[in-house]
Amino acid sequence: MTTLLWLQASGCGGCTMSLLCAENPGLADLLADAGIELLWHPALSVETGAEARALLERIESGQQPLDILCVEGAIARGPRGTGRYQMLSGTGRSLMDWVASLAPRAAHVVAVGSCAAYGGVTAAGGNPSDAVGLQYEGAHPGGLLPAGWRGGAGGAVINVAGCPTHPGWVTETLMMLAAGEAVALDGYQRPRFYADHLVHHGCPKNEFYEYKASARELSQLGCMMENLGCIGTQAVGDCNTRPWNGEGSCTKGGYPCINCTAPEFEDPRHPFTETPKIAGIPVGLPTDMPKAWFMALASLSKAATPERLGVNAVSDHVVVPPTLRKPR
Amino acid sequence: MTQDITRLVVGPFNRVEGDLEVTLDVAEGRVRSARVNAPLYRGFERMLEGRDPRDALTITPRICGICSISQSAAAARALGAAMGLAPTPEGAAMAALIHAVENVADHLTHFHLFFMPDFARPAYAGRGWHDRAVSRFTAVEGGALRAAVQARAELLHIMGLMAGKWPHTLAIQPGGVTRAPGLREKLRLQASLRAFRRYLETDLFGAPLEDFAALPDATALMHWTRGDAGLFLEIAADLDLATLGRGAGRYMSFGAYPLAEGPVFARGLWEGGTQPLDTGAILEDVSHSWMLGGAAHPARGRTEPDEAMRETAYSWCKAPRLAGRPVEVGALARQVVDGHPLALSLARDGGVLARVAGRLLELARTQGVMERLVADIQPAALFMAQGTLPREGAGEGLVEAARGALGHWIRIEKGRIAGYQIVAPTTWNFSPRDSAGLPGPLEAALEGVAAGEGEAVPLAVQHVVRSFDPCMVCTVH
């Protein structure tokens, strides 16, 4: 069996709530089938108070072997470096202290969600609680644990970033670890199986994007890159090829991708739902594309926008259907 | 003989959302007094200062992963109030649907994952119902838990369809919702709701929901034997959960699911009878909180953490009071204020049974509410109105989260957020003492509860605490 301990640090608990949306099979079966034994989870396990403390102490002393430590939420270092903005209740010790003490006991450490990975929303707006990620502070390597830190199995912290995480991102990472497979990571230590994709891939607004037929207001069907702050062309994630909650995604829901899998997404230096522009041109163009080419193609495609897309882009439902194509 | 007082610190107090520590002074096998500590401070209200007001719609849902939509809805209402913008009637109805789905999912999560597993503990072995409790409600693995988690995940497909994802959506806006449903979506929503009704009527209630919702009083309720609800009621009768952890009988609701014609569940204050609610009488006291400054109405309040964590305080939670008094909020409060006869009957005891049964009653009633909202969808309607933000302004956003009354108060100056205050349901229920020494509702409810010798974490205490369904991440935010 692969043992798993889950701690909730300074976060919203939303990654656990999302994880419970795992389907086919559900979470309990999936963990059991993968040979993963959940030692303790704050929202799910029966043990409370002294019972839970006893387990944590057994892990800390090495009596209870630990294969995977999942931490959800950022690490609060404040006030004044004490970590007392989050005490692990009943223990008189901060979460910061507990995680620093338990991480070296684990073969693998998984940061679940952008808060645990980089600080995330918990570190937004001046970072009132001096929160930090497990092995990153925003985009900078080195968080609670130094950049060179490695777990018992020799790997760095795995950053399953996202706000929240897709249940599949977490369960597939855990299944890989339980199967003894190495989890390939990108430059921000995110699993490549979902970070090699862009949110743009499979976005239902792709045709609007191709012709720069843009929505002006939320609820309109057009592409949200030009006006509404959408960063789906730069954000990693398979959100539009692996649906959320049945058949959803942010852009399918009619609101922009805010790049929640990235470090420092919480402070974009512009309103989340408004694209910053210089002289009418959006700042921040698609990844991997020369700017001049993008500008040239954009002005050409904008000039060639079919009426159908122009009308539909500023409507909340399809007004003009595609032209019927008759067989020759 | 002098009475020995033993101090018991319970933590980590799990199967609640977020971090909770309860300190009990126990004498002669009973809780003499209790102090509730919310041990996590993140400072969301401070993060919002100086930002574009619309950013509240992205930031505040992330206060809480279980009440995310409630935070969205409150932020949208507060912004709308500042903008002088109301959602279109159809937009309000879809926001209500999305919100109701979250609240229902939360009630389901609480009953199955958080509350019931305690009855499967070995300490209850030998009770007539214990074998069934073990089979249905063992933590993580019980049959009822598995069925509930699956039903919840499938119900949340409504979020995928109408809100993009759950938690943390931007679909709810001051003017309505960002996704306009067509006929296809309407029928898909109906299919999801029918499947959810089938689950509720097969597993949880074992009978038509309308039969449960028609129960006239607590006596009739205790004769309900069907489904997992029946198992709970059998346990409740055996352990006398009716009189365990009684509240003060003062209930508040901001009114749930505001539609063009008014809220689906009424707004008001109940104390032996329904009274109008004046939110102007809310004051947040910080005498026992690690917060600086004095008591203030949330429209003028601020959040200044006491980094020294002074000895005379014991929680990051402020103590909101209505006209100087604590109030209890939640599903029971909502159903009492709405005047449902079963809820009014349960309120006479107002203990663990009443809180949990109030949630079951609301589950049964809300299914019908969601079905009506979907049946009324007009695919050609306008689901979102547009508006502009003022340079200067203020707004109050009041909603009902699964756990009770949630309020956001925004102040806009020079086009930026100058002040943002949030009072969450568990801020009310799990508040610390105030300057008059009045304990919060949970602290009061714990007084006198049995805390047996040798019980590391007294079971009765656990039942009382979890009966409130606390959300600690919302509490301090």
Nearest by Cα to B329 from B201, B471, B435:
B471
CB pairs under 8 A between A and B: 279
Nearest Cβ partner of B169 from A86, A219, A253?
A253
Contact A48 B15 (CB under 8 A): yes
Q: Which chain B residues contact residue A274 at CB under 8 A?
A: 52, 54
What are residue A88's phi and psi, to 5 degrees?
A: -75, 110
Burial class (CB in 10 A: 0-12, 13-18, 19+), A288: exposed
Counting residues of chain A whose pLDDT is more than 90, the rounded percentage is 92
Write out the residue limits of the CATH 4.10.480.10 domain(s) in chain A.
202-312
Q: Which chain A residues contact residue B14 at CB under 8 A?
A: 42-43, 45, 47-48, 52
Q: Which of A219, A247, A260 should be substituted to probe chain B, the one whose Cβ sees the most B Cβ atoms within 10 Å?
A: A219
The contacts of residue A325 (CB under 8 Å, 6+ apart) are none
At residue A324 the predicted structure's pLDDT band, cuts being 50, 70 and 90, is very high
The angle subtended at Cα B117 by Cα A169 and Cα B477, nearest 5°, is 55
Nearest by Cα to A144 from A255, A7, A242, A291:
A7
Homologous superfamily of A202-312 in CATH? Cytochrome-c3 hydrogenase, C-terminal domain (4.10.480.10)
Can you tell me the mean pLDDT for B442-463?
Answer: 92
Q: Which of helix, strand or coil describes residue B220?
A: helix
Two tokens, residue A228:
């509404």
Each residue's pLDDT tens digit, B278-305: 999 999 999 999 999 999 999 999 999 9
Q: Which chain B residues contact residue A52 at CB under 8 A?
A: 12, 14
Please report the residues numbered 110 through 139 in chain B whose beta carbons come closer than 8 angstroms to any beta carbon of chain A.
113-114, 117-118, 120-121, 138-139
What are residue B251's phi and psi, to 5 degrees?
A: -120, 140
The contacts of residue A86 (CB under 8 Å, 6+ apart) are A9, A10, A76, A94, A95, A96, A129, B19, B39, B40, B41
CA closest to A39 among chain B residues: B140
Res. B453: pLDDT tops 80: no
Nearest by Cα to A189 from A103, A261, A275, A99:
A261
Q: Which chain A residues contact residue B305 at CB under 8 A?
A: 79, 85, 128
A277 has which bridge partners?
A282
Q: From CA B363, how far away is CA B197, in angstroms rounded? A: 10
Q: From CA A310, how far away is CA A320, in angstroms rounded? A: 9
Quote the minimal CA–CA distance from A310 to chain B in Å. Answer: 18
Res. A156: pLDDT tops 60: yes
Count CB atoms within 10 A of the CB of residue B32: 17
Q: Which of B40, B188, B302, B420 should be substituted to probe chain A, the one whose Cβ sees the most A Cβ atoms within 10 Å?
A: B40
Most distant CA pair in chain B: distance in Å? Answer: 78
Q: Which of helix, strand or coil describes residue A97?
A: helix
Nearest by Cα to B149 from B199, B218, B93:
B199
Contact B180 A316 (CB under 8 A): yes
Query: What DSSP state is assigned to residue B129?
Result: T
Contact A90 B12 (CB under 8 A): yes
CA closest to A78 among chain B residues: B307
Nearest by Cα to A273 from A210, A236, A225, A222:
A225
Can you tell me the mean pLDDT for B428-441?
Answer: 97
Res. A135: pLDDT tops 80: yes
- Read off the amino acid at residue A237: G
Each residue's pLDDT tens digit, A77-123: 999 999 999 999 999 999 999 999 999 999 999 999 999 999 999 99
Quote the minimal CA–CA distance from A260 to chain B in Å. Answer: 11
pLDDT of residue A97: 98
CA closest to A56 among chain B residues: B12
Query: What DSSP state is assigned to residue B119?
Result: G
Quote the minimal CA–CA distance from A153 to chain B in Å. Answer: 28
Quote the minimal CA–CA distance from B2 to chain A in Å. Answer: 28
Please report the residues numbered 134 through 163 in chain B whose beta carbons come closer than 8 angstroms to any beta carbon of chain A.
138-141, 145-146, 149-150, 152-154, 156-163
pLDDT of residue B2: 55
pLDDT of residue B452: 81
What's this model's pTM, rounded to 2 decimal places? 0.98
Q: Which chain A residues contact residue B143 at CB under 8 A?
A: none
Two tokens, residue B3:
């009475």
Q: Which chain A residues contact residue B150 at CB under 8 A?
A: 23, 26
Q: Which chain B residues contact residue A218 at CB under 8 A?
A: 170, 173, 178, 384
Quote the minimal CA–CA distance from A196 to chain B in Å. Answer: 21
Each residue's pLDDT tens digit, B50-98: 999 999 999 999 999 999 999 999 999 999 999 999 999 999 999 999 9
Can you tell me the mean pLDDT for A263-288?
Answer: 89
Query: What DSSP state is assigned to residue B262?
Result: E
pLDDT of residue A144: 98
* Inter-residue contact B432 to B313 (CB < 8 Å): yes
CA closest to B24 among chain A residues: A90
- Output the CA torsion B383→B389→B390→B393 (10° steps): 80
What is chain B's mean pLDDT, rounded?
97
Quote the minimal CA–CA distance from B22 to chain A in Å. Answer: 8
Q: From CA B311, how far away is CA B291, in angstroms rounded? A: 12
**Would you identify the CATH topology of the domain A2-195?**
Rossmann fold (3.40.50)
| B406 touches A: beta carbon within 8 Å | no
What are residue B334's phi and psi, to 5 degrees?
A: -60, -45
At residue A298 the predicted structure's pLDDT band, cuts being 50, 70 and 90, is confident
Contact A249 B164 (CB under 8 A): yes
pLDDT of residue B1: 44
CA closest to B163 among chain A residues: A253
Contact B473 A13 (CB under 8 A): yes
Quote the minimal CA–CA distance from B171 to chain A in Å. Answer: 6
Contact B46 A128 (CB under 8 A): yes
Each residue's pLDDT tens digit, B309-362: 999 999 999 999 999 999 999 999 999 999 999 999 999 999 999 999 999 999
Q: From CA A296, how far away is CA B283, in angstroms rounded? A: 59
Lowest mean pLDDT among A287-296, B115-124, B206-215, B262-271: A287-296
The contacts of residue B387 (CB under 8 Å, 6+ apart) are B80, B83, B84, B85, B174, B175
Write out the residue limits of the CATH 3.40.50.700 domain(s) in chain A.
2-195
- Tell me the ipTM for this assembly: 0.97
Q: From CA A139, how far away is CA A267, in angstroms rounded? A: 12
Q: From CA B186, how far away is CA B97, in angstroms rounded? A: 12
Q: Which chain B residues contact residue A255 at CB under 8 A?
A: 164, 169-171, 178
Pairing mode, strands B176-177 and B172-173: antiparallel
Quote the minimal CA–CA distance from B281 to chain A in Å. Answer: 29
| B94 touches A: beta carbon within 8 Å | no
Contact B166 A45 (CB under 8 A): no
Q: Which chain B residues contact residue A168 at CB under 8 A?
A: none
- Read off the amino acid at residue B246: R
| B186 touches A: beta carbon within 8 Å | no
* Inter-residue contact A97 to A89 (CB < 8 Å): no
| B304 touches A: beta carbon within 8 Å | no
Can you tell me the mean pLDDT for A271-275?
Answer: 97
| B49 touches A: beta carbon within 8 Å | yes
pLDDT of residue A292: 86
* Inter-residue contact B477 to B462 (CB < 8 Å): no
- Distances, alpha carbon B309 to alpha carbons A79, A122, B288, in Å: 9, 20, 10
Two tokens, residue B235:
């346990």
Nearest by Cα to A136 from A71, A203, A56:
A71
Q: How would you write A203-237 as a 3-class SS string?
A: CCCHHHHHCCCECCCCCCCCECCCCCCCCCCCCEC
B393 has which bridge partners?
B412
| B191 touches A: beta carbon within 8 Å | no
Each residue's pLDDT tens digit, B143-171: 999 999 999 999 999 999 999 999 999 99
Quote the minimal CA–CA distance from A252 to chain B in Å. Answer: 6
Please report the residues numbered 25 through 44 in chain B whose beta carbons come closer than 8 angstroms to any beta carbon of chain A.
37, 39-43
Contact A12 B48 (CB under 8 A): no
Count CB atoms within 10 A of the CB of residue A304: 11
Can you tell me the mean pLDDT for A213-230?
Answer: 97
Contact A250 B118 (CB under 8 A): no
pLDDT of residue B191: 98
Q: Which domains does chain B have, with CATH numbers?
A: 6-476 (1.10.645.10)
* Inter-residue contact B356 to B111 (CB < 8 Å): yes
Contact B159 A90 (CB under 8 A): no
